[in-house]
Every structure is written in C-alpha cells, then in structure tokens.
Structure 1
Amino acid sequence: MRKIIVLEHVSLDGVIQAPGGPDEDNSGGFAYGGWVAPYSDEILGTLLSRQMNMPFDLLLGRKTYEIWAPYWPKHADVWPGVNKATKYVTSNTLTSGEWKPSVLLSEDIVEKITRVKQQQGPDLHVWGSSDLIQTLMKYDLIDVFWLMIYPVTLGSGKRLFAGGTIPAAFKVTESTVTPNGVIVVNYERAGEIETGSF
C-alpha cells in the first residue's frame, strides 16, 4: 500500500499559502507570497532535493495543479521527477489534464483516493492543496507530514490544520534545524491520542 505524504512549507501560525512567489496564490487578498525565500540555505536545499528525488506520484488539488501545470514542464532541470510522476488531481470541475500523465479524480473523491492508495506504486506526495488536505485529514488518509516550519507568522492565509483536522497522534522520525531557523520535521501517524495526568 502506498503512503500519502503531505509536504508543506508552513509558518509558525500554520499558513501554507503561496510560499513560492508573489503571484502564486493571492486569493483572499493574501499579500505575502514568496515568504519562504529569505530562509533558503544549503541545508534546506539539500533536504528538499532529497525529497524531490525520491520515487513518487503526486496527489494534488485542482488549484495547485493549475498553478504547477504551466510551470514545471518548463523547469524540468530543477525537479526532473515531477513531470514523470503520475498526477492524481481531485476536481469536480476540470475536464482534462493537459500536464501528462494526469488522472482526474471527481465525485466520490475519498473512495477514489483510497483505491489509488491501495494500489502498487510509489508513495503519493501532496504539496499545496490546502482544501484537499482538509479532506485527507478528515478521513484519516495521511500517513506522514513532512513539514518545513519557518520562523515567521503571517496572520492570515490558508492554513494546514483547519476544518479537516481530527484528533490524531504522530511520532517524529527525523528532524533538522537549518542555519536560517527552519525546522524540517517528519511526523508519522502513530495511532490514537493518549491521555494521562501528572
């Protein structure tokens, strides 16, 4: 069975919107697009490259797909695997996926994602896709969060943990703090919440 791995640039206050550039996603009047750029360093670059060079397919929401589809085919030298990966796109409005190979998942999306997850193949990486992530969390389909947590608060914007968040336990399997203060951490799903008292 494949794992669903959510990989996100996230601010201290949980925002994941438009980390890559000013014009990436300014919906809702978001004014801080490109907020990760000042924190780039060699260690973060190495960790990102490692993730980007693993075997993977992509599971993307429509908005992220529409942002990425015109960009990545022109930048294959940066991330060669992204164009070869099968892109599973959740949307009830798209009628075709021009960025090949793409598979559109519409209607009964949770059931279709569950079936894709049960197939043989590489793990499914989710980048961006804030609405899709809420659905994946709600139905407990996420196996791993690979997060890059930046030392900045943004105040508003699309958040990682929002309406789909359920009570769930995780364990840290790897962590690094970069010279510019980005905490890169791998959280694997670890069952139910346990409680106790001191």
Structure 2
Amino acid sequence: MRKIIVGAMVSMDGVMQAPGGPTEDPTQGFKFGGWVMPYFDQEFGEELDRLFNEKFDLLLGRKTYEIFAGYWPYYDENASHGGIAKLFNEIKKYTISRSGEVDTSWRGSVLLRDIADVKRLREEDGPNLVTQGSTELVHALLANDLVDAMSIFTVPVVLGGGKKLFAHGSAPHSYKLTRARVSSTGTLIAHYERAGDIKIDGAALDSPSDRERARRERIKREG
C-alpha cells in the first residue's frame, strides 16, 4: 500500500492559496499571490529536496495540476530549480477531475475521476503519493481518512483570508512529529506521521464549585 503525504506551504493563519506567484490563483479576490517566495532560503530548499528525495508520484487537484502543467514542462532544466522540473516531468502525475475536462497531455499524467479512484490507487503497490497545493483535494483526503503523513512549511505571515489547509470535517487523528527545522527566514518546517486516535485528558476539579456547575449548565442551554 502507498502512503499519501500532504505537502503544504501555509501562512500562520493556515492559508495555502497561491504561494508561488500572483497569477497562480487570484480567485475570491486573493491579493497576495507569491507570499512564500521572499522566505525561500537554503533550508527551505533542502527540506523540499528531502520531501522529493524518495521515489514518489504527484497527486494533484485539477487546478494545481493545470498550474504545474502550464509551467514545469516549459522550465529550463539547466536553470535554478531545474532538478525539480526534470523530476516532475519524468514521474507520474495523478490529477482528479469529476468532469474529466482537463488536458492530460503532460507526459506521465493520469486522470482520476473521484476520491474512490484515489482510495484504489492508495491500496496498490507503488511509490508514495505526494500532494502539492490542491486545497479541495486535501480537504477530501482528510475527510476520508486517507492522509498518512504531512510536511508543512509554515511561513511567518498572516494573510487574513484565502483557501486554507484544514476545513471542518477532517477525520480526527493525532500525528507524531518526526522532524522539524526553522529556516533562516523564520519558516517552521515540520514533518508528521499519523500516530493514532486522539487522546484526551482533563484538569477538572474532583468536586466542582457552584460557579463551575452553573457554567456547565449554561453551556448546555446555549447548545
């Protein structure tokens, strides 16, 4: 069985929309496209290389796939970041489109139609599946309990709005931090593996005060 690894660049308030440039995704009036690039440094690049170091296939939502397909096949592989361009052009790219209206002529591209196709793909033998961007897809993966690991690059900015990494409805799970690093620009890079069910505990008094009992009753009434 393959692992699904969510790779995400997020702001401190959880936004992951258009990290690479103003034209990536200006939908819903988003004005800060390219907000990650001023924070890209040596440590950031090294951790991206580690994410892409093991054999993997890309798993992308339609919109992110179209961004990648319009960029990486035309990128000079001898230029800076040319190694990523070469890698992305050589590996398989799985993209999900319910309508099927997507141009999959980029070499190595495979069309999936729904989350059931992703489940079947995950059960097969093969390299891990790594997401980039693809907000709606990531939400569906989390809701269907299909995320095995996450590599999250948290950039020290607050954007105030935009498409976010987490949405209501994610399957509850705890995660174990396996590696973490802070870059020279203040980006927190953390890698997590799924660890199990949520554990809870409490700090309630053995014998609650009258004030505490009244508070609990008020919460019940307020729903």
Structure 2 Cα separation of the partners of residues 174 and 54 of structure 1:
16
Larger fraction in helix = 2
3-state SS, counterpart of residue 24 of structure 1: coil
Partner of 2:120: 115
Question: Where do 5+ consecutive residues of structure 2 fail to align?
Answer: 204-223
Structure 1 Cα separation of the partners of residues 169 and 54 of structure 2:
28
Contact 1:10 1:16 in 2 (8 A): yes
3-state SS, counterpart of residue 196 of structure 2: coil
Instruction: Map Cα deviations across residues 11-47 of structure 1 (whole Å, 9 max, x no partner).
Output: 0000000000111110101000000111111111111
Corresponding residue to 1:178 among 166, 180, 183: 183
Partner of 1:86: 92
- Letter of the 2:178 partner, please give it: T
Aligned residues: 196
Partner of 2:108: 101
Q: Which moved more, 1:154-163 or 1:75-84?
A: 75-84
Structure 2 Cα separation of the partners of residues 116 and 29 of structure 1:
35
Contact 1:55 1:122 in 2 (8 A): yes
Partner of 2:209: none
Query: Aligned-pair distance for 1:69?
Result: 0.3
Residue 136 of structure 1 pairs with residue 136 of structure 2: no
Partner of 1:74: 74
Instruction: Map Cα deviations across residues 104-162 of structure 1 (whole Å, 9 max, x no partner).
Output: 111xx222111111111110000000000111000100001100001111001000001
Partner of 2:62: 62
Distance 1:23 1:95, change over 3 A: closer
Give the alignment's TM-score, normalised by structure 1: 0.94
Partner of 1:189: 194
Partner of 1:16: 16
State the Cα RMSD in Å.
1.3
- Letter of the 2:138 partner, please give it: I
Question: Where do 5+ consecutive residues of structure 1 fail to align?
Answer: none
Which of these two proteins has the greater Rg computed from alpha carbons? 2
